[in-house]
Chain A
């Protein structure tokens, strides 16, 4: 539990005049789920998108500070494509490509040059198993991914990310459009994945953070207010504002 997977030091992010993140320093440990909670505009998503350099796509963004993965600077010592294969991301809206289930998951490995049928088959079965989707789709791998339900599509997106064998996975409000049963499936797969991977979960659902988070971080207006073990944050928060947020006084 003391192994640092990610070290974030003095991270400042600005969108033109707006300061989205203010002097953020935070360590994320191996095999934990760090839940990030906070009202909208608190910088949660900006933080997440800094971790796989998706913020690079924005023209008007300025960033200072360093982010290290296993001691390597992701902005100085890594190519963004290499980084993004190691740091997978799941979005709020599942976006399957208009291809078959099989081809959706094979997309990433094929892009990295894997062509051999047997090995692809193995990767696909393994990824679907880890995303808790295999049993539901094993008989129709070659039908269109767009025919799946919303919850299944989200798990397909998780499987697609897993096929690249990342060691860190970022979830950006992965259950915001899902019903409770689909949500619990996604949460089950997160808890299972924690055994081998490191997870950062941004969520608007404080109950979800309480259910799955090893630790919880509370963001407000670009500041990290507190971060601690989930039980501690939810039972005896150190800061009054955290208490107000999780008890529903604002947000």
Chain B
């Protein structure tokens, strides 16, 4: 009897732990919605998303987040262009080409890279990369979307590399041996068989890397210049959705329009990350089937 009660309690406890994360996500989402939705009483959803000016403290305030969305997308796009090819190539090198000793060394380096706090990366970028970009392109400031993309690429790399590498290692050994036994060279095997098999996982890895980049705050706030204008080139300052929330939340009056608008930005970010994760998940599951 006592044993049965014990079993019951343990089962319940495990169940509670299991659903805890679901409950937390729901609570966060409800809170975000509750706080953010109020802004749409004064600004329409369409005007909020497509408004070209973000002047939250002018009178009356102009709350259009198009420049912020564009800023986030531009920085992310740049980071993706840098990190995805580099990360995938690096994963193939680690999984297929490197000798065991080099492989171990590289894997630890990738882990260390993922352990560097983003504020430290931002700081390093500020004192090294920013002056370099300024001098290289002879522009008035090095605090640009381009600098942000480079630093963010560093943060996406560990995710892309380690998940792609897992996907490559998960390609059945027999496929590789089958191709090799038919006289395929190492490169032909890699290019025609292994890439084919690992593709869904590699795409998922890239999506998760993108998710990491779009949600990143500290480093971008330090090195992208934070000018809320619609960017036309990579070599100008931009402001991202995340940096806006981080920089302005401390100065708003609780319950003001500005305050609600920042929560609404949070909803937009949440939706974007959610979509990216769902897409990544679709590809990961495709992999398993």
Is A57 touching B182 in the complex (CB atoms < 8 A)? no
Is A161 touching B175 in the complex (CB atoms < 8 A)? no
Known contacts A59-B100, A111-B188; decide if A95 and B175 are in contact (CB<8 Å): yes
Known contacts A91-B174, A93-B174, A95-B174; decide if A57 and B180 are in contact (CB<8 Å): yes
Residues of A within 8 A of B (CB): 52, 54, 57, 59, 81-82, 84-85, 88-89, 91, 93, 95, 97-98, 107-108, 111-112, 157, 160-161, 164
The residue in A59, A111, A112 that gathers the most chain B C-beta atoms within 10 A of its C-beta is A111
Is A85 touching B183 in the complex (CB atoms < 8 A)? yes
Is A81 touching B175 in the complex (CB atoms < 8 A)? no
Mark each residue of chain B from 93 to 127: 1 if its CB lies under 8 Å from any CB of chain A, else 0: 00000011000000000000000000000000000
Residues of B within 8 A of A (CB): 99-100, 172, 174-178, 180-185, 188, 193, 196
Is A108 touching B182 in the complex (CB atoms < 8 A)? yes
Q: Which residues of A contact B182 (CB under 8 A)?
A: 84-85, 88, 107-108, 111, 160-161, 164
Q: Which residues of A contact B175 (CB under 8 A)?
A: 95, 97
Q: Nearest Cβ in chain A — how far from B180, in angstroms?
A: 7
Is A84 touching B180 in the complex (CB atoms < 8 A)? yes
- The 10 A-B residue pairs with the shortest CB-CB distance in the complex, in nearest-first order: A85-B183, A89-B181, A84-B183, A95-B178, A108-B182, A95-B174, A81-B183, A81-B185, A59-B100, A84-B181
Is A111 touching B183 in the complex (CB atoms < 8 A)? yes
Q: Which residues of A contact B177 (CB under 8 A)?
A: 54, 57, 91
Q: Which residues of A contact B176 (CB under 8 A)?
A: 57
Q: Which residues of A contact B185 (CB under 8 A)?
A: 81
Q: Report how far A165 CA is from B33 CA in the complex, Å.
A: 68
Q: Which residues of A contact B172 (CB under 8 A)?
A: 95
Q: Report how far A89 CA is from B172 CA in the complex, Å.
A: 17
Q: Which residues of B contact A91 (CB under 8 A)?
A: 174, 177-178, 181
- Name 17 A/B residue pairs within 8 A (Cβ), A-sorted: A54-B180, A54-B181, A57-B176, A81-B183, A81-B184, A82-B183, A84-B180, A84-B181, A84-B183, A85-B182, A88-B182, A91-B174, A97-B178, A97-B193, A108-B183, A160-B182, A161-B182
Q: Which residues of A contact B196 (CB under 8 A)?
A: 98
Q: Nearest Cβ in chain B — how far from A101, in angstroms?
A: 16
Q: Which residues of B contact A93 (CB under 8 A)?
A: 174
Q: Report how far A57 CA is from B178 CA in the complex, Å.
A: 12
Q: Report how far A98 CA is from B182 CA in the complex, Å.
A: 16
- Chain A: which residue is nearest B181 at the CB level? A89
Q: Which residues of A contact B181 (CB under 8 A)?
A: 52, 54, 84, 88-89, 91, 161
The residue in B174, B178, B182, B193 that gathers the most chain A C-beta atoms within 10 A of its C-beta is B182
Q: Report how far A84 CA is from B182 CA in the complex, Å.
A: 6
Q: Nearest Cβ in chain A — how far from B107, in angstroms?
A: 16
- Chain A: which residue is nearest B184 at the CB level? A111
- Chain B: which residue is nearest A60 at the CB level? B100
- Chain A: which residue is nearest B173 at the CB level? A57
Q: Report how far A54 CA is from B189 CA in the complex, Å.
A: 14
Is B180 touching A112 in the complex (CB atoms < 8 A)? no
Q: Report how far A108 CA is from B185 CA in the complex, Å.
A: 11
Q: Which residues of B contact A82 (CB under 8 A)?
A: 183
Q: Which residues of B contact A59 (CB under 8 A)?
A: 99-100
Is B183 touching A112 in the complex (CB atoms < 8 A)? yes
Q: Which residues of B contact A81 (CB under 8 A)?
A: 183-185
Q: Which residues of B contact A157 (CB under 8 A)?
A: 178
Q: Which residues of B contact A84 (CB under 8 A)?
A: 180-183
Q: Report how far A59 CA is from B99 CA in the complex, Å.
A: 8
Q: Report how far A57 CA is from B186 CA in the complex, Å.
A: 10
Since A85-B182, A88-B182, A93-B174 are in contact, a sample of 6 more A-B pairs with Cβ atoms closer than 8 Å, ordered by chain A residue number, is: A52-B181, A59-B99, A81-B184, A81-B185, A91-B181, A161-B182
Q: Report how far A157 CA is from B177 CA in the complex, Å.
A: 13
Q: Nearest Cβ in chain B — how far from A175, in angstroms?
A: 17
Q: Which residues of B contact A88 (CB under 8 A)?
A: 181-182
Q: Nearest Cβ in chain A — how far from B13, in angstroms?
A: 44
